[in-house]
Structure 1
Amino acid sequence: MRPRPTRLNHVAGFNIDAVAASAGDDPEILRLENLDTDLLPPPSAVEATRAAVGLDSANSYLPFTGQQAAKEAVAGYVAGRTGVSYDPATEVILTSSDGDCLLDALLALTDPGDEIVLTDPTYAGMLNRVYLAGGVPRLVPMTVSAGAWRLDLGELEAAVTPKTRAIFLQNPSFPSGYCLTEDEWSAIAGLCVARDIWLIYWSLMEGIVFDAQPILSPVAYPGMRERTIIVGSASIEQRMIGWRIGWILAPRAVMSDVAVVHMYNGITPGGIAQAGLIAALSDGDESFAQCVTEWERRRNALTTTLQGFAMIPAAGGWSQIVDTVHHGVDPGDLSRVLLRHGVAATAMTGWGGPVADRHLRLVFSNEPVERIQLLGDRFRAAVREAGGRA
């Protein structure tokens, strides 16, 4: 048998599905392992999707880059939040959600051997798609300052070399829940402009920020509209995970390349999903603010029940992470022990470098506060059983 392709040498499989399979359907187990939520999608999206089932116009490969009405809805949604306009016809394409849009952007902008700057920790799906595209990741460790995750700007600048083609970020970040500040975004923008490099920006959770923080978008910074690729999805903010619908916005100069990659990677998203997307983005989502408030309540409950553990509260998003090594336990070992105590949670191994490898991920978006409050006793018992310090 021939050797494995080298592009897969550093690509580790997810352990989320293994933990989920071990948890099974036991209703007593706290499901903190996967990026799901029990908060419902916008009713208008559900109704529009149902109405589209069976329509010939929704059951077609065409148009390859997405229906015009759906692209207009995306452009309007992004402009309403960022104040930056995009031409729906030439600067927006629709994708089949979270994964292919990330790979589309990397394949359209980079060559094998190009360096891509990411944070440590980062989303494993971002890191591994850099490997699949033949890129070389350069990891910038996140640090802790004043009880929050912060980007080391000196390390960021040092990570950018003549081989750097792009900085690849998500904000707020899954899984650590960090939110970049005005100063951090300004430094990132300054680097991109000064070094003439791309920013691939995954806006998946952009609006889910806590503690009355502002929503910041990098395209609003000087010089960034022409060097930023926005990849987005309805999976998180609109709670439309099952629709598998997303988008890419990019300057017209590179969109033809992005579109070609997309056509040979994902072809086109489903018309049924596009109908739901149009409704969700065009009609507005009155419940979104309530959802953010509820996710913040769950973040607070998780932080309180695990008080005393080495854990930075998420500034946004759906999850936060615990430094189990600080408590004398390997995160993978603790994940296995936690299942015996009624908790499904996953280790961060492979989600960056040395920082990620110390941590266990806890997703708080899919359990109500009353159940999250059960976590503390179970977690402490598991840490003690694993030989750690609780």
Structure 2
Amino acid sequence: MAAMTRPPLNRRLAEFGTTIFAEMSALAVSTGSVNLGQGFPDTDGPEEIREAAVRALRDGRGNQYPPGPGVPELRDAVADHQRERYGLEFDPGTEVLVTAGATEAIAASLLALVEPGDEVIALEPYYDSYAACIAMAGGTRVPVTLRPHDGRFVLDLDELRAAVTDRTRLLLLNTPHNPTGTVLTREELAAIAELAVERDLLVVTDEVYEHLVFDDAGHLPLATFPGMRDRTVTISSSGKTFSYTGWKVGWVTGAPELVTAVRSAKQYLTFVSAGPFQYAIAEALRLPETYFDGLRADLTAKRDLLADGLERAGFTVFRPRGTYFITTDIRPLGEQDGIAFCRALPERCGVVAIPHAVFYDHREQGAPFVRFAFCKRTEVLQDAVKRLGTL
């Protein structure tokens, strides 16, 4: 066969190969290692929510195409959740859109709101799908780097302001922040809101870890700040909160014109998804506060178990205020290259982690940082801590 004159893959995606999560998870299987790399729980969520999904399946609710914007029960539950927790009023008919997880919500938002040549500012390190979605939309990625300071990763507001140009269309934010575990402060969010209003920017906020905020910090949606409700697309999902990551039920809230734009793109991606699971998540969002308190308490204990073990093993640990990831600095171990360190770690002590560098445009900034997930059973974390102690 004659050689192709052009590679098959769209040039916008040429820089994106197999994700680091697939590589490290395969390495975990081949070496029998404890997988603290990919961020998914190793136990299911509440039994009553699983039974709600079974009940929906048996009752024939959602087995055929659900409504394009999502089933009314879930859109009502999302609107109630936003109002009761944050004082944000959204019309479930025009201002709530159900998606195939937050990943589709991010993709649909960027495809809808970004045109070729538009600049999108993202906080690095950033979740890997952000870069791919910006590329698919034809946007130009502009990273603003979070840097370690006093035990947390901090946003330099002057650097953020300097990154905005006449071509900037959108800010893509993530708080609580994966992979660093940082929760943006009220002061940081207020400054971002002022900048967005001043420069007439749209903002897409990924808030999937909104219920995984520790140490009584509390979650502050950017849409609650002055001038932000009508220029913010807020994204969340059920996977991290209810530990059913395979169901892929997410949602978007925002002003009608923004949600309509996102829906215009979303309808040509999956059209609809997860019909019966939507009914179950509608019930999950109405669980009593004791569930959410218990989730945070359980994960706080697991965070501290793993963080203490990592510190004893010799890492510098950035104890997270949110998410279920711990960022560490490997330089006290005499290491500099996080990618090489993570590839060798399974053979060295039987644990898998994720290198930060793959989440950076400025790879040298992320080189010494490595992420561990603590959303696992206590006995699994105890085993990992024991193994890490051999370093």
What is the TM-score of this pair, normalised by structure 2? 0.92
Q: Give the C-alpha shift of residue 280 in structure 1.
A: 0.5
2:11 pairs with one of 6, 9, 26: 6
| CA distance in structure 2 between the partners assigned to 1:377 and 1:284 by the alignment | 36
Aligned with residue 357 of structure 2, among 325, 346, 349: 349
Cα deviations across residues 208-239 of structure 1 (Å, max 9, x unaligned)?
Answer: 11122122111110000001001111000121
2:89 maps to 85
Counterpart-to-counterpart distance in 1, 2:328 and 2:355: 10
Query: Structure 1 CA distance, aligned partners of 2:53 and 2:290?
Result: 18
Q: How does 1:190-269 map to 2 (within 5 A)?
A: 190-269=194-273
**Aligned partners of 1:122 and 1:174 also within 8 Å:** yes
Q: Could you tell me which of 319, 323, 337 is aligned with 1:317? A: 323
Question: 1: distance between equivalents of 2:13 and 2:295?
Answer: 38
Code of the aligned partner of 1:316: G
Query: 216-225 or 40-49, which moves further after superposition?
Result: 40-49
Is residue 2:371 matched to residue 1:361?
yes
Local SS of the residue matching 1:94: strand
Give the letter for the 2:53 counterpart. T
Question: What's the counterpart of residue 336 of structure 1?
Answer: 343
Deviation, 1:25, is 8.2
SS at match of 2:78: helix
- Find the aligned partners of 1:62 and 1:303 in 2 and give their Cα distance: 43
Structure 2 counterparts to residues 132-171 of structure 1, below 5 A: 132-171=136-175
Distance 1:372 1:44 in 2: 26
SS at match of 2:187: helix
Q: Does 1:122 align with 2:131?
A: no
Give CA deviations for 1:153-191 in whole Å, capped at 9, x if unaligned.
Answer: 111111111111111111111111011001100111011
Q: Structure 2: any 5+ residue segments left out of the alignment?
A: none
Match of 1:379 in 2: 388
Alpha-carbon distance between aligned partners in 2 of 1:357 and 1:9, rounded to the nearest angstrom: 22
Cα distance in structure 2, aligned partners of 1:72 and 1:96: 17
- Mapped contact 1:44–1:279 kept (Cα < 8 A): no
- Distance in 1 of aligned mates of 2:228 and 2:145: 24
Query: Within 1, Cα distance between the matches of 2:337 and 2:377?
Result: 25
Contact map agreement 1:115 1:137 (CA 8 A) in 2: yes
Which residue of structure 2 aligns with residue 385 of structure 1?
none
* Partner residue, 1:15: 20
Q: Confirm or deny: 8 A CA contact 2:61 2:276 kept in the other structure.
A: no
* CA deviation after TM superposition for structure 1 residue 348, in Å: 2.3
Alignment partners' CA distance in 2, 1:53 and 1:31 = 32
- Shift of the 72–373 alpha-carbon distance from structure 1 to 2, 3 Å rule, reads same
Matched-pair contact (CA < 8 Å) for 1:11–1:131: no
8 Å CA contact 2:339–2:367 kept in 1: the answer is: no
Paired residue type of 2:296: V
Q: Kindly tell me: are residues 195 and 302 of structure 1, through their superposed partners in 2, closer, same or farther at Cα, counting changes over 3 Å? A: same
Q: Which moved more, 1:13-22 or 1:223-232?
A: 13-22
Where do 1:273-284 residues align within 5 Å? 273-284=277-288
How many Å separate the matches in 2 of 1:303 and 1:338? Answer: 17
Q: Contact 2:336–2:368 (CA<8 Å) still a contact in 1?
A: no
* Equivalent residue number for residue 113 of structure 2: 109
Count of residue correspondences: 380
RMSD: 1.9
**Cα distance 1:374–1:46, how it changes in 2: closer, same or farther (>3 A)?**
closer
**8 Å CA contact 1:123, 1:175 repeated in 2:** yes
User: Structure 2 counterpart of 1:19, which letter?
Assistant: M
Give the gaps of 5 or more residues in structure 1: 383-390
1:51 aligns with 2:60: no
CA 1:137–1:358 in structure 2 vs 1: closer, same or farther (change >3 Å)? farther
Task: Tell me which amino acid in the other structure corresponds to 2:83.
Answer: A
1:72, distance to aligned residue in structure 2 (A): 0.5
Residue 380 (structure 1) shift: 5.7
**TM-score of the two chains, using structure 1 as the length reference:** 0.92
3-state SS of 1:304 partner: helix
Q: CA offset at residue 255 of structure 1?
A: 2.1
